[in-house]
Amino acid sequence: MLAVMMLAVALLPGWAVAHRDSSACTGAAALPNHCRAADSGRYVPDASHAETDHDGDGTAENCWASGDFEHFNTCTFGRPHAKYTVALVGNSHAAQWLMPLRRWADQYDLRVVTYLIPKCFAIDEKVDIGDKQRGPVMNDRCYAWGQWVQRETNQLKPDLIVTTERTYKKPIHPRPGGTYASWKAGYAGYLKGWTDQGRHVLVVRDNPVPGKQVPPCLAAHPNKLSKCAGERSVWLKPDALVAAARSLNNPLVRVVDLSEHMCTDTTCPAVIGGLCVYRDHSHMTATWIGSLATYLEEPFSEALHHH
């Protein structure tokens, strides 16, 4: 019997050996369970398929605002006569969470309404989009989208607004304290526009941002996957939206931070628990999100039911 147990352990992937329990070391469970990140071996999706692993983010259904910010689109998923309505608001990093919300529609009797846009922000602050061809027009349109979303969501009166954003442009008119202080103040004002109308909001802390194309890195280093990891202090920058949410000290606004599933105290691996985390320079793979959503579900349910 001992020999059989030793053989079974030997056949486990490297990331599972630390706990001798593969389920405890699979996907988003791995880092909180102190499982070692493998430096080689199989992972899914593999490097050749990771870049296209974004099913369910609303792209196929044309749910996003147009790239020139001229046309504002929404989509509705789930049950048409649902008990609960959830609004998903933000840029491409918010769109990553559409897939879990769609999957939870039957379980939680949900209607999910999306307000998504690429490279823009739901904030009370005019931001320099950096469009060299259209210039200030794009800045104005981005700001107009944010104001439109707030009007639409307050009129919709959803039971919960879920929002997250990657924040990486510069305000046109920075406030005292610089860029980060401007983002924080702008987000605080925007969130207050919801809470003043009695809206419940769940802010999801943004995911780490590698700043480099991860799948090609993994393809280039199949026996040294750690070369594609990054320092936590570099990949996981302070989140101004989260800071704004906490500064309001309002029970209508909740924050969920899943960073412990993506980074150790010092490092953010590119492959965790046998799963490829990133599909490009900043977005997560749908496969990884499917695993990570397990840990979003409880705070989501509590926020939805206003517990």
- The answer to whether residue 2 scores a pLDDT higher than 80 is no
Percent of the chain past pLDDT 90, that is, above it, reads: 88
Question: Residue for token digits 């009370």?
Answer: 124
- The predicted pLDDT at position 20 comes to 36
Is the pLDDT confidence value at 9 over 60?
Answer: no
Q: Mean pLDDT, to the nearest integer, of 51-59?
A: 94
Q: How far apart are CA 220 and CA 177, in angstroms?
A: 42
Nearest to 14 by CA among 26, 3, 6: 26
pLDDT at 19 over 50: no
Residue 8 has pLDDT above 50, yes or no: no
* pLDDT for residue 131: 85
Over range 253-270, report the average pLDDT.
98
Residue 6 near residue 273 (C-beta atoms within 8 A): no
Q: What is the pLDDT of residues 86-129, one digit of tens each?
A: 999 999 999 999 999 999 999 999 999 999 999 999 999 999 99
Confidence tier at 13 by pLDDT (50, 70, 90)? very low
